[in-house]
Amino acid sequence: MRKRGKWMKSPDDSILEYIRDNGSGNPSDISDVEEIRFSYGYIADRCSVLAEYGLLERLGNAVYVLTDEGESYLDEELDTGTLSRNHATSGRSAAV
């Protein structure tokens, strides 16, 4: 079972899973996924927050990739409640 921090919101797992499955993602493409059902603006805000906590890395042009921490969270190895905002990441996942 994934250990979600209190700061996480309902679409965050779906955003992280989309980016893991696709290698990268941007809020426009993610908001077009029928199962996610949130607006572009909300997804953009959540991607920014996920990056501030170190689960995503922004490459530019609103493109995000999963970090090692993001991968660890999805693999149920990281409790995101232990992360702090503006967390420094250790790098992108090797799967990217």
The string of pLDDT tens digits covering residues 38-57 is: 999 999 999 999 999 999 99
pLDDT of residue 50: 97
For residue 55, give both structure tokens.
Answer: 């689960």
CA distances from 62 to 41, 47, 56, 72 (A): 12, 9, 11, 23
Tell whether the model's pLDDT for residue 90 goes beyond 50. no
Across the range 79-90, mean pLDDT stands at 79
Q: Which of 41, 24, 23 lies closest to 11, judged by CA?
A: 41
Averaged pLDDT for residues 21-38? 94
Query: How confident is the model at residue 86, as a pLDDT?
Result: 85
Integer-rounded Cα Rg, in Å, for the chain is: 12
pLDDT at position 46 is: 97
Confidence class for position 87, pLDDT limits 50, 70, 90: low
Provide the percentage of residues in the chain whose pLDDT is more than 90. 80
> Nearest Cα to 62, choosing from 80, 43, 90?
43
**Would you say the pTM of this structure is higher than 0.75?**
yes
The reported pLDDT for the residue numbered 91 is 47
DSSP 12-76: HHHHHHHHHHHS-B-HHHHHT-TTT---HHHHHHHHHHHHHTTSEEEEETTEEEEBHHHHHHHTT
